[in-house]
Amino acid sequence: MRRFVIGRGRNFLNRSHQQNLLSSSSSHCQSRFLSSTSVIDSPSSSSMAPTSSPAITVDSLNPKVLKCEYAVRGEIVSIAQELQTNPGSHSFDEILYCNIGNPQSLGQQPITFFREVLALCDHPSILDRSETQGLFSADSIERAWQILDQIPGRATGAYSHSQGIKGLRDTIAAGIEARDGFPADPNDIFLTDGASPAVHMMMQLLIRSENDGILCPIPQYPLYSASIALHGGTLVPYYLDEATGWGLETSEVKKQLEAAKAKGITVRALVVINPGNPTGQVLAEENQRAIVDFCKKEGLVLLADEVYQENVYVPEKKFHSFKKVSRSMGYGEKDISLVSFQSVSKGYHGECGKRGGYMEVTGFSPEVREQIYKVASVNLCSNISGQILASLVMSPPKVGDESYESYCAERDGILSSLARRAKTLEDAFNSLEGITCNKAEGAMYLFPRIQLPEKAIKAAEAEKTVPDAFYCRRLLNATGIVLVPGSGFGQVPGTWHFRCTILPQEDKIPAIVTRLTDFHKSFMDKFRN
Amino acid sequence: MRRFVIGRGRNFLNRSHQQNLLSSSSSHCQSRFLSSTSVIDSPSSSSMAPTSSPAITVDSLNPKVLKCEYAVRGEIVSIAQELQTNPGSHSFDEILYCNIGNPQSLGQQPITFFREVLALCDHPSILDRSETQGLFSADSIERAWQILDQIPGRATGAYSHSQGIKGLRDTIAAGIEARDGFPADPNDIFLTDGASPAVHMMMQLLIRSENDGILCPIPQYPLYSASIALHGGTLVPYYLDEATGWGLETSEVKKQLEAAKAKGITVRALVVINPGNPTGQVLAEENQRAIVDFCKKEGLVLLADEVYQENVYVPEKKFHSFKKVSRSMGYGEKDISLVSFQSVSKGYHGECGKRGGYMEVTGFSPEVREQIYKVASVNLCSNISGQILASLVMSPPKVGDESYESYCAERDGILSSLARRAKTLEDAFNSLEGITCNKAEGAMYLFPRIQLPEKAIKAAEAEKTVPDAFYCRRLLNATGIVLVPGSGFGQVPGTWHFRCTILPQEDKIPAIVTRLTDFHKSFMDKFRN
């Protein structure tokens, strides 16, 4: 199995690299051709340009953009949106979106304390009014004052420092210290509009050409493949081992690194998503130690996607940040370059629409830090509500605060419900013919494997569709359930999967299980070998 | 003068292009060298890698990042921040930030109605409470309900459609129609976290290599040069004519376009900033018509930065959107590719920290639109508060609404104060020896020209400083006034300028004028030829 995976990995890299070289050289040729044409026709070229239609065509767009794909909002979701706007076109009563980690779109309620503080910071002139005492908790009013006092001029409508408001970064650093038991420096924090822009920023800094590679897990969250494509680098895949619960083995990473080097790729960074997306596993601490040592030894930047750090559902696993793990190994600033990404979109709060997040950047020289700061400056700053929310997430109400009990009840209610939903869906998938599903130890997703019958694969090929997309499309049209085909995340070639979120509210889960079970039976009856 | 400008323009392009080619080829060489070293040393290369320090150095970063500059938060601002943290280091009582268009950081108050609606949308559970009636205006409560009803599931914490919430785009499109008198389509609106990400998105789509050029005004807002550098394209400068109030002549643009073509550059788009940044001029409608015709004829995408559309201070000028101008000329979707950028950060509201904005994208094929949508999707969506605010800005209170009068009073108070400040500062600059300053017809800036004495230029050279930065640094150290040197925006070589915002509150303006005047006199006494 290992050998097979590695062999496939090489092909993936190979193909990806060739595509890069091709698109890059064709882009060069194309622009040279266009400009020399202009010169030859000049000075009358302008009058020869088409005047009846705009000049930009898909063929003349940046080929890196054309190459980029993002399955989470891909074809299946477009079909779902069409179905939703044509209720007469289908028999089911509603579309059940299980495609995207967007909890509040499915009815999850925001944490009251967080929203109180945000509202007060948005309209501080009510803070002194007596009616406000009756509407808002005492600690939300106090927290809003604290935050306003941290903002120069109390101006929540001003651009902040390019890294984010200093006082909020102090709060976040204190939250990281409390979480890890190791010091955190507010100057290491870069607040961003969600985690995605932070990931783009690091890719932009690290990728110089298609000869630069980024090691990414397969399956991966397609932000990574999209961002690497947009920045013109090469994705170097390492495969997670489905047989051991999506295990991450450094021997596999090492082999892929060597294979990439042999192809002339300079590998610059290793992406680890923990808890895993789309795979839902939570790494064991000793596994993390091995990864840290590997990055240190190979001189790789460790890009740690830790946005699901609050989403752990099994008692035997615990989230450990890579920063904590590396510091507990005695490694400091000089030893390893480490970036940890955090977001307000995930966790128990799920505030996706607020676009808040940060990256904690450690182990880079002051000169490199200056470049990161410059890139952050070009976009001025991230949105202040998102910044405030990021500070709240890292510093929620404490024992004794008026909101503490209601906060805990809201948080625990959401997390325990997510754990129940994960288990119910996992069991449901495992009860279906030809489907096996690893445990969702964390994050918000299941990534079951489906053994598609040969007849189904042939039928998909006849429709020029990838087999897992063929399954997902039929499922959607029959039941309204929206999944994302595994091919959007990457998978061992010849295997098929799909990603299913655990986010529909609990009262919807039985319907999902029933519809899925019924559909799957009839699908298998139709296509069984 | 024209001839001189054009000659210099060629050099600018030339230099810029060579830099691109150099950095691009050195990047290729470097990565090839690194990877072949790895191969030669393999398999023991990993043990030979440095284990005592992280592997990323400035020299191994993306050279496009290294090349990018952003003066608005550059060296002078860093010095100001240091001075602020060491109050004992200087004699003045406060730092006077005139470097950045960030009104609320200098005491400008937000528009009450906008903040009421934002607060209610952040914490909708208070909408039904009786205390809320006493705290919020009736129309803000009604508007919050309207907006919540436009959001699926009233979920202000959910990711929205990648282009932004459909109902808010409907409102914005209606606002554009009311402004222009021509139809606007909500499907053409892409809501973004301020205008900057929208500009980056268009650069990412249009730039394939250093052979692709973007025509930009000089002086320009350095977001454009930074974004073009980050995306690896070539900035093709066209010079605004200072002698005619920063006039934009299509003959100059045409000459620069031809010069670029002759160098093998494919020019893809023309950036126009109206009202101008840093130059403050407002284009006349007939001038805009000529620009539209030019873009149509040359097949260029017109990138219209219209974020200062509310900021016009002189009765003889009026803002006309390029969309309105092109539609009034009878040009439609098939005739011209036009992108208009708008932001919540500017205008009378100045809500920079909210990071709201949109681009209206017209005249692109469905296939190209699909690519724009895909790039927007990779970042999921812009922040919902910013989206809501963008809809409010394009649809403020109307006659008869409870907030209408107070809204008008707040808006008009801010705009008339800005007009007074612009005039006072303009007059002050024009009264100084060797300084001439065009009128600030709009936007938030003055861009005076300073005739630096030869002795000052020599002294700057001795300090290895650009002369206008030399002036600005001495001004800062002597007075606490923070300006941005003209060299950060581009200027006709051999001329020197600085940008000064009109944003300090009115009670600060006399102190600024006095300090500036005193400093300038002593500077000239010291360096006069």
- Helix, strand or coil, per DSSP, at residue A500: strand
DSSP string for A139-173: HHHHHHHHHHHHSGGG-TTS---TT--HHHHHHHH
Q: What separation, in Å, do the N-terminal and C-terminal C-alpha atoms of chain A show?
A: 25
CA distance A455 to chain B (A): 33
CB contact under 8 A, A258 and B223: no
Position A86 scores a pLDDT of: 85
- Helix, strand or coil, per DSSP, at residue A342: strand
Closest residue to A123, CB basis, from B45, B115, B209 = B115
User: What tokens appear for A149 in the block?
Assistant: 């006092």
DSSP-H helix ranges across B379-466: 384-393, 404-430, 454-462
- Residues of B within 8 A of A354 (CB-CB) are 157, 383-385
Please work out, in degrees rounded to the nearest 5, the angle formed at the alpha carbon of residue B158 by the alpha carbons of B152 and B160. 65
* pLDDT at A388 exceeding the cut of 90: yes
CA distance A453 to chain B (A): 33
Bigger pLDDT: A354 vs B85: A354
- Whole-angstrom distance, CA of residue A223 vs CA of residue A220: 8
Per-residue pLDDT tens for B106-118? 999 999 999 999 9
* pLDDT at B221 exceeding the cut of 90: yes
Closest residue to A368, CB basis, from B43, B61, B352 = B61
- Whole-angstrom distance, CA of residue B402 vs CA of residue B397: 8
- Whole-angstrom distance, CA of residue A122 vs CA of residue A111: 17
- Residues of A within 8 A of B353 (CB-CB) are 155-160, 381, 383-384
Per-residue pLDDT tens for A74-120? 788 888 888 888 888 888 888 999 999 999 999 999 999 999 999 99
* pLDDT at B45 exceeding the cut of 90: no
Q: Is A28 exposed, middle or buried (0-12, 13-18, 19+ CB in 10 A)?
A: middle
* Number of domains making up chain B: 3
Which of A48, A120, A147, A352 best tests the B interface by mutation, with the highest count of B CBs <10 A?
A: A352
Range 5-44 of B in CB contact (< 8 A) with A: 27-28, 30-32, 34-36, 38-39, 42-43
Answer whether B296's CB lies under 8 Å from B335's CB.
yes
* pLDDT at B384 exceeding the cut of 80: yes
| Residue B502 forms part of a structural domain | yes
- Residues of A within 8 A of B209 (CB-CB) are 27-28, 31
- Whole-angstrom distance, CA of residue B158 vs CA of residue A105: 5
Which chain B residue has the Cα nearest residue A63? B208
| Residue B137 forms part of a structural domain | no
Could you tell me if B303 and B180 lie in one domain? yes
Position B24 scores a pLDDT of: 31
* pLDDT at A2 exceeding the cut of 70: no
DSSP-H helix ranges across B70-111: 75-85
| Residue A469 forms part of a structural domain | yes
* Average pLDDT of the residues in A408-412: 98
DSSP string for B143-212: HHHHHHHHSGGG-TTS---TT--HHHHHHHHHHHHHHHSS---GGGEEEESSHHHHHHHHHHHH--STTE
A72 band by pLDDT with thresholds 50, 70 and 90: low
Closest residue to A122, CB basis, from B49, B69, B118 = B118
User: What tokens appear for A87 in the block?
Assistant: 């209720």
* Average pLDDT of the residues in B146-172: 96
* Average pLDDT of the residues in B128-144: 95
Could you tell me if B348 and B292 lie in one domain? yes
> Using only C-alpha atoms, what is the Rg of chain B?
25
- Residues of B within 8 A of A107 (CB-CB) are 153, 155
Count of residues making up chain B: 529
| Range in A48-52, A453-457, B369-373, B417-421 with the lowest mean pLDDT | A48-52
Answer whether A139's CB lies under 8 Å from A165's CB.
no
Residue B75 CA, chain-centre distance (Å), reads 19
CB contact under 8 A, B105 and A299: no
- Whole-angstrom distance, CA of residue A263 vs CA of residue A5: 18
* pLDDT at B207 exceeding the cut of 60: yes
> Which segments of A306-420 are extended strands (E)?
338-343, 357-362
Sign of CA dihedral B428, B433, B439, B444: negative
B297 band by pLDDT with thresholds 50, 70 and 90: very high
Nearest C-alpha neighbor of B99 from the set B81, B121, B124: B81
Sign of CA dihedral A38, A40, A44, A49: negative
CB contact under 8 A, A31 and B336: no
Could you tell me if B319 and B267 lie in one domain? yes
| Residue A197 forms part of a structural domain | yes
Could you tell me if A279 and A177 lie in one domain? yes
Could you tell me if B362 and B262 lie in one domain? yes
Range 126-155 of B in CB contact (< 8 A) with A: 126, 129, 131-132, 134-135, 152-153, 155
Q: Are strands B301-305 and B266-273 parallel, antiparallel or unpaired?
A: parallel
> Looking at A351, A367, A393, which one is the last position of a domain?
A393
- Whole-angstrom distance, CA of residue B101 vs CA of residue B307: 11
Position B32 scores a pLDDT of: 24
Sign of CA dihedral B203, B205, B211, B213: negative
Would an 8 Å CB–CB cutoff place A104 in contact with chain B? yes
Task: Say what the ipTM of the complex is.
Answer: 0.89
* Average pLDDT of the residues in A468-490: 95
Position A210 scores a pLDDT of: 95
> How many beta-carbon contacts under 8 Å exist across A and B?
372
Tell me A108's DSSP state.
P
User: What tokens appear for A385 in the block?
Assistant: 């509500």
Answer whether B121's CB lies under 8 Å from B168's CB.
no
* pLDDT at B33 exceeding the cut of 70: no
- Whole-angstrom distance, CA of residue B319 vs CA of residue B285: 8
CA distance B296 to chain A (A): 6
- Residues of A within 8 A of B268 (CB-CB) are 56, 60
> Looking at B334, B364, B393, which one is the last position of a domain?
B393
Answer whether A76's CB lies under 8 Å from A485's CB.
yes
Bigger pLDDT: B182 vs B4: B182
A376 band by pLDDT with thresholds 50, 70 and 90: very high
Which chain A residue has the Cα nearest residue B344? A157
Could you tell me if A359 and A470 lie in one domain? no
* Average pLDDT of the residues in A281-300: 96
- Whole-angstrom distance, CA of residue A210 vs CA of residue A345: 31
| Residue A322 forms part of a structural domain | yes
| Residue A402 forms part of a structural domain | no
CB contact under 8 A, B51 and A296: yes
Position A74 scores a pLDDT of: 74
Closest residue to A100, CB basis, from B31, B129, B159 = B159
Sequence-distant contacts of B20-24: CB under 8 A, at least 24 apart: B20/B210, B20/B232, B20/B233, B20/B234, B21/B210, B23/B63, B23/B64, B23/B66, B23/B67, B24/B63, B24/B209, B24/B210, B24/B232
B346-371: b or e for each residue (b if 16 or more CB lie within 10 Å)?
A: bbbbbbbbbbbbbbbbbbbbeebbeb
Closest residue to A368, CB basis, from B35, B56, B226 = B56
Bigger pLDDT: B377 vs A4: B377
CATH number for B428: 3.90.1150.10
Report the DSSP beta bridge partners of residue A169. none
Please give the residue range of the domain that contains residue A476. Answer: 71-97+411-527
CB contact under 8 A, B122 and A119: yes
- Helix, strand or coil, per DSSP, at residue A498: strand
- Whole-angstrom distance, CA of residue B11 vs CA of residue B259: 10
Could you tell me if A326 and A290 lie in one domain? yes
* Average pLDDT of the residues in B258-268: 97
Average predicted confidence (pLDDT) for chain A: 89
Nearest C-alpha neighbor of B316 from the set B284, B343, B363: B284
Could you tell me if A310 and A333 lie in one domain? yes
Could you tell me if B505 and B362 lie in one domain? no
Bigger pLDDT: A54 vs B86: B86
Position B77 scores a pLDDT of: 84
* Average pLDDT of the residues in A387-410: 98
| Residue B104 forms part of a structural domain | no
Q: What separation, in Å, do the N-terminal and C-terminal C-alpha atoms of chain B show?
A: 25
Could you tell me if A415 and A372 lie in one domain? no
Residue identified by tokens 């923070």 is B482
CA distance B274 to chain A (A): 20
B215 band by pLDDT with thresholds 50, 70 and 90: very high
CA distance A387 to chain B (A): 10
Answer whether A37's CB lies under 8 Å from A29's CB.
no
Would an 8 Å CB–CB cutoff place A212 in contact with chain B? yes
CATH number for B337: 3.40.640.10
Position B379 scores a pLDDT of: 86
Answer whether A346's CB lies under 8 Å from A444's CB.
yes
> Looking at A358, A393, A428, which one is the last position of a domain?
A393
Could you tell me if B345 and B252 lie in one domain? yes
Answer whether A410's CB lies under 8 Å from A404's CB.
no
* Average pLDDT of the residues in A469-486: 95
CB contact under 8 A, B261 and A30: no
Q: With helix as H, strand as E and coil as C, how does A315-341 read?
A: CCCCCCCHHHHHHHCCCCCCCCCEEEE
| Residue B154 forms part of a structural domain | no
Answer whether B230's CB lies under 8 Å from A379's CB.
no
Could you tell me if A426 and A379 lie in one domain? no
Answer whether A503's CB lies under 8 Å from A483's CB.
no
Would an 8 Å CB–CB cutoff place A247 in contact with chain B? no
- Helix, strand or coil, per DSSP, at residue A91: coil
Which chain A residue has the Cα nearest residue B223? A378
Position A529 scores a pLDDT of: 78
Per-residue pLDDT tens for A12-38? 343 333 333 223 333 332 222 222 222
Closest residue to A55, CB basis, from B55, B299, B350 = B299
Share of chain B above pLDDT 90, in %: 82
Average predicted confidence (pLDDT) for chain B: 89
* pLDDT at B436 exceeding the cut of 90: yes
